[in-house]
């Protein structure tokens, strides 16, 4: 990974692919705005850039748009989107993709942004597939970066045989005895979502207090979900697949054995910004610092959504939408001085 100016000798990119001079040339795309991260904020940013008259390319390491929402939580209800009392993750992503489609973005999916070059006039991003994208500005909406689940300390050998770290399709667990492990939003939301269709549902958390949203915790406490706190998983047993889970009360050692065909370990994820960390951006705890215009310390580079940080930051999808719109409006004059920062009202557009 390298970062630097576009015109320095050390930053010259070879015209051919890494395979050598006889390999196929690297694809090169020229757009007004390149967005790294095709999650909700990136998709909305693509739509808004199109609304402002820009051409857009979207780069994401995942094979489909939607980011973490589509990859991990497609059937979870999301409650913080304006205009929706609740909306399933995949339904939200589908709507955002349709909205972004108005901008006719170039999708570069299954490719990771590897290198960044920038100067006073433009930016260039090179992916791990050798694709080059030249643009007038860059908007980072990469969420938490790449993410891997925190492993359950006991029973890892049952991964794929009853142990899972997320639930893409709720119906797969219908009629089963399910144990959900964790105390955050994902654990509580999955427990509530699975309660109506599971034969039995137990939530195990090693602390008495939950990290989930207060409203969700209140719903959990009013539900039929069996809540065991402060307990942690001591062992998992079964022949080919999980048959039972033993949990142990923290400190006292009291043990309870639960029937289970599925254990959902919702213990959070380990995030990694990957090559972005080496681009020379000002970072704070793996987040990119921005000012009120969503501008980073690098020329023509902006950030929005979960990847961005500033004093008073609130990490909600709905906030990410506003940040993406703010970033696009503030970078608009860099794309074309005639654009201006103030967009006018969308209802005025014909």
The annotation places the binding site for FAD at 60, 68, 73, 113, 147, 306, 347
Say what the alpha-carbon torsion angle 168, 206, 314, 279 is, to the nearest 10 degrees: -70
The rounded distance, in Å, linking the Cα atoms of 331 and 341 is: 8
Alpha carbon 251 to its chain's center: 36
Q: What burial class does residue 229 get, using C-beta atoms within 10 Å of its C-beta: 0-12 exposed, 13-18 middle, 19+ buried? A: middle
DSSP state of 150: P
Evaluate whether 209 touches 183 at the Cβ level (below 8 Å): yes
How many of the other CB atoms lie within 10 Å of CB of 108? 23
Torsion sign, CA atoms 336, 340, 345, 350 = negative
- Let me know how long the chain is: 350
The rounded distance, in Å, linking the Cα atoms of 107 and 34 is: 10
Angle value at C-alpha 313, between 310 and 314, nearest 5 degrees: 165
Q: Could you tell me which residues are annotated as the binding site?
A: 60, 68, 73, 113, 147, 306, 347
Beta strands at 146-149 and 137-140: parallel, antiparallel or unpaired: unpaired
Evaluate whether 174 touches 258 at the Cβ level (below 8 Å): no
Tokens 């390999």, residue located: 23
Torsion sign, CA atoms 28, 33, 39, 44 = negative
Helix (H) and strand (E) counts for the chain? 6, 25
Angle value at C-alpha 256, between 251 and 261, nearest 5 degrees: 130
Q: What burial class does residue 85 get, using C-beta atoms within 10 Å of its C-beta: 0-12 exposed, 13-18 middle, 19+ buried? A: exposed
In sequence order, which residues have a C-beta less than 8 Å from that of residue 238 and are 6 or more positions away? 158, 161, 162, 244
């Amino acid at each position: 990974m390298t970062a630097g100016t576009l015109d320095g000798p050390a930053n010259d990119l070879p015209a051919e692919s890494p395979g050598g001079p006889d390999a196929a040339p690297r694809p090169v795309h020229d757009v007004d705005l390149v967005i790294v991260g095709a999650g909700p904020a990136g998709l909305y940013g693509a739509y808004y850039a199109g609304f402002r008259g820009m051409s857009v390319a979207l780069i994401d390491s995942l094979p489909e748009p939607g980011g973490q929402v589509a990859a991990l939580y497609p059937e979870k209800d999301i409650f913080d989107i304006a205009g929706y009392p609740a909306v399933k993750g995949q339904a939200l992503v589908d709507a955002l993709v349709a909205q972004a489609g108005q901008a006719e973005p170039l999708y570069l999916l299954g490719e990771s942004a590897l290198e960044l070059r920038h100067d006073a006039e433009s930016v260039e991003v090179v992916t791990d597939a050798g694709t080059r994208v030249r643009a007038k500005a860059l908007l980072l909406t990469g969420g938490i970066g790449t993410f891997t689940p925190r492993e359950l300390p006991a029973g890892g050998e049952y991964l794929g045989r009853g142990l899972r770290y997320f639930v893409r399709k709720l119906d797969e667990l219908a009629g089963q005895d399910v144990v959900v492990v964790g105390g955050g939003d994902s654990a509580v939301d999955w427990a509530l979502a699975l309660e109506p269709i599971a034969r039995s549902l137990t939530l195990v958390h090693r602390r008495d207090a939950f990290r989930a949203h207060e409203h969700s915790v209140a719903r959990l406490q009013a539900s039929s979900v069996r809540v065991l706190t402060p307990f942690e998983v001591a062992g998992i047993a079964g022949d080919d697949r999980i048959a039972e889970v033993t949990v142990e009360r923290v400190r006292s050692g009291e043990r309870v054995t639960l029937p289970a065909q599925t254990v959902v370990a919702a213990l959070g994820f380990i995030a990694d910004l990957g090559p972005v960390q080496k681009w020379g951006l000002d970072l704070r705890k793996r987040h990119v610092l921005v000012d009120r215009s969503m501008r980073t310390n690098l020329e023509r580079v902006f950030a929005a959504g979960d990847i961005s940080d500033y004093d008073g930051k609130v990490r909600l999808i709905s906030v990410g939408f506003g940040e993406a719109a703010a970033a696009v409006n503030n970078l608009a004059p860099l794309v074309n001085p005639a654009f201006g920062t103030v967009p006018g009202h969308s209802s005025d557009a014909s």
